[in-house]
A = this chain, B = another copy of it.
């Protein structure tokens, strides 16, 4: 079971569209997946899940999306030259024992040109610190709004090609 994490809580995000498309590609390739959007996090997570407290709602999220998955795909938008604060808060809230030794692959998403390369660099450092193996194919998806039709399906041929390569890399890892 691979968990795909749409790493923002922005309503109606392009990130969630890319993550959904990615999930469909993985399912088509025969892989069992689930999608977790950070929109589902408790709104007060930074205050009530990080310092030793734990709500039932958040424990349920951990049980469903983190505990039993050995592989994660983080689909990560670029906010202010890095990844969203909510993603680090989420990682600060998960107990490291639930992550250590597992595998993570990254996809960067940006409306501009850089595909969140810096955010993926920062995130790799943090995931390594937490004991996760990070796949070197850290795929930047730039100018994301030009790659999709109005329903959010990725239609750009080259993007589909590199996504298919990424899907194959992650499944074969």
Q: Which residues of A in the span 1-38 have a Cβ within 8 Å of any Cβ on B?
A: 9-11
Q: How large is the interface on A (under 10, 10 to 19, 20 to 34, 35 or more residues)?
A: 35 or more
Contact (Cβ within 8 A) A118 B121: yes
On whether A125 and B121 interact (CB within 8 A), knowing A9-B47, A44-B44, the answer reads yes
Q: Which of A90, A117, A138 has the most CB of B within 10 A?
A: A117
Q: Which residues of A in the span 35-57 have a Cβ within 8 Å of any Cβ on B?
A: 41, 43-48, 50-51
Contact (Cβ within 8 A) B85 A125: no
Contacts of A148 in B (CB 8 A): none
Pick the residue among B114, B126, B130 that contacts A114 (CB under 8 A): B114
State the CA gap A51–B13 with chains docked (Å): 11
Nearest B residue to A46, CB-CB = B86
State the CA gap A128–B122 with chains docked (Å): 13
Contacts of A128 in B (CB 8 A): 81, 124, 134, 136, 138
Q: What's the nearest-Cβ distance from chain B to residue A118, in Å?
A: 6
Nearest B residue to A91, CB-CB = B80
Nearest 5 interchain pairs by C-beta: A81-B129, A85-B89, A85-B88, A43-B44, A128-B136
